[in-house]
Amino acid sequence: MNMRAPVTTLPLMLNEIASSLNVATSQLGILTTIPLIMFVLVSNFAAKTMQLMGLKRAMAFAVAMILLGSLCRVVTNMPMMLIGTVLIGLGIAHLNVFMPSFVMAFFPTKIGLYTSIYTMSNMLGTAVFNVLTAPVMAKWGWHAMMWILVLLPALALGVWLVASRFAEPVVQEPADDFDKSSPQEPKLHVWRNPRAWALLLVFGFQAILNYTFVAWMPSLMAYHHVSAGNIGWIMALYSIIGMFVSLLVPNLIVRLTKRGLAGCVLFMGLIGLLTAVMLFNQNTSAVGFWLALALMIGSITAFFFLIAMTMFAAKTTTPFQTATVSGMAQSGGYFISAFGPTLYGQAFQANPAGSVQNIVYTVIVVLLVSVTLLVIKADRIFTK
């Protein structure tokens, strides 16, 4: 929950925070952008943090940054709000990279199961806090919600500090991975690895689809005269379908043969092409049409997100390898995704129902399927 709720809850409170700070709501837009910037800047270096501290201490460091940032945001002034958001982005960027390594290190034979658990908890946390925020603010104000967001990492840090004293990784790093004086030290050269680049593109393409859909689909539905109430629950179901997919896909990924998994990818690609056809024929206000579109795109983005998150661990052999490729893929992937909402917004302003954005969507779906098949084909990201 700490990997999503501190970011996704803040936009729901912007009007109230702006009023308390005596600033325009538009001036707080940077608070929603900072975490994504931190993901891009920090993710690629998170493996070095793990290398210096070790996985258990690095995990504690990441959660501590979220806790410290959450405490800063309780203070009612703009500088502390900015500092707190930077620290939260720093912590979450590290956790995003560390979690696949954590699964690889502690549960190497149950990668699918534990990937399902933590991705499901992220999505559930987002949904729970989306529901809680309005009534909590209505009764006690936005500061109360901020204090709840402080309790979340405080509880997680306390539990982790106790649990990590008794838990030891099943998969240990080879000494050479950390002994810089050793002539046998493996040099991963992740940015020159074509298999790692394929995984980066999988992460980036699914992210650009997801962020663009979430940012602009409500506006597109409103343009076609779908009511605000219907838009709200359609977008809620878009999030919920991801939870169901997260329960099924990671276990499926690790159990299927390469051919079976490739078949699933091609099937999801066909669904993606079907949604492209629907977007080219979108001139309707029918709720059933937009609901079907949201559920299908939600399934596609969740499926390929989980492919990427599971492959970080399944296609590597040590936690450090996992963190290295995870950090590289997430850094580059979030960079790619940052362009989606902005470019779609420009196309939407020119012609909300235009063909340009739909053609780009179709191309991204085809590319996403293609690079995913390349990742599946590889036995390992790093080969001797």
Q: Give yes or no on whether 5-172 and 190-377 have one common fold.
A: yes
Average pLDDT over residues 8-36: 82
High-pLDDT (> 70) share of the chain, %: 94
Confidence at residue 349, expressed as pLDDT on a 0 to 100 scale: 84
H helices then E strands: how many in the chain? 14, 0
Q: Are 90 and 303 in contact (CB under 8 A)?
A: no
Burial of 288 (C-beta count, 10 Å sphere; 0-12/13-18/19+) = exposed
pLDDT digits (tens, 9 = 90+) for 71-102: 999 998 899 999 999 999 999 999 999 998 88
Average pLDDT over residues 10-39: 83
Q: How far apart are CA 55 and CA 51, in angstroms?
A: 8
CATH 3.40.50.720 assigned to domain 190-377? The reply is no
pLDDT band at 173; cut points 50, 70, 90: low
Q: How far apart are CA 246 and CA 184, in angstroms?
A: 39
Confidence at residue 180, expressed as pLDDT on a 0 to 100 scale: 43
- Look at residues 92, 151, 126, 130 and name the one whose alpha carbon lies nearest to residue 12: 130
Angle between helical axes of 46-53 and 319-350 (0-180°, round to 10): 160
SS3 364: helix
Q: Quick check: 312 pLDDT over 70?
A: yes
- What one-character-per-residue DSSP string does 228-250 give? HHHHHHHHHHHHHHHHHHHHHHH
For residue 149, give the H/E element and its range.
Answer: helix 142-166
The letter for the amino acid at 361 is: Y
**167-195 as b/e, with b when 16 or more CB fall inside 10 Å?**
eebebebeeebeeeeeeeeeebebeebeb
5-172: which CATH architecture? Answer: Up-down Bundle (1.20)
Tokens of residue 382, six digits: 């790093």
pLDDT digits (tens, 9 = 90+) for 204-258: 999 999 888 887 888 899 899 988 788 888 888 888 888 888 888 888 888 889 9
> Distance of CA 281 to CAs 265, 285, 349, 355, Å?
25, 12, 19, 10
How many angstroms separate the most distant Cα atoms in the chain?
66
Token pair 């979030």 is found at 334
pLDDT band at 327; cut points 50, 70, 90: very high
SS3 23: coil
Q: Quick check: 330 pLDDT over 50?
A: yes
Tokens of residue 110, six digits: 């149950």
The letter for the amino acid at 292 is: A
Confidence at residue 177, expressed as pLDDT on a 0 to 100 scale: 47
pLDDT digits (tens, 9 = 90+) for 345-358: 888 888 888 889 99
Q: Where are the domains of the chain?
A: 5-172, 190-377
Q: Are 105 and 320 in contact (CB under 8 A)?
A: no
Q: Quick check: 136 pLDDT over 70?
A: yes
Confidence at residue 118, expressed as pLDDT on a 0 to 100 scale: 83
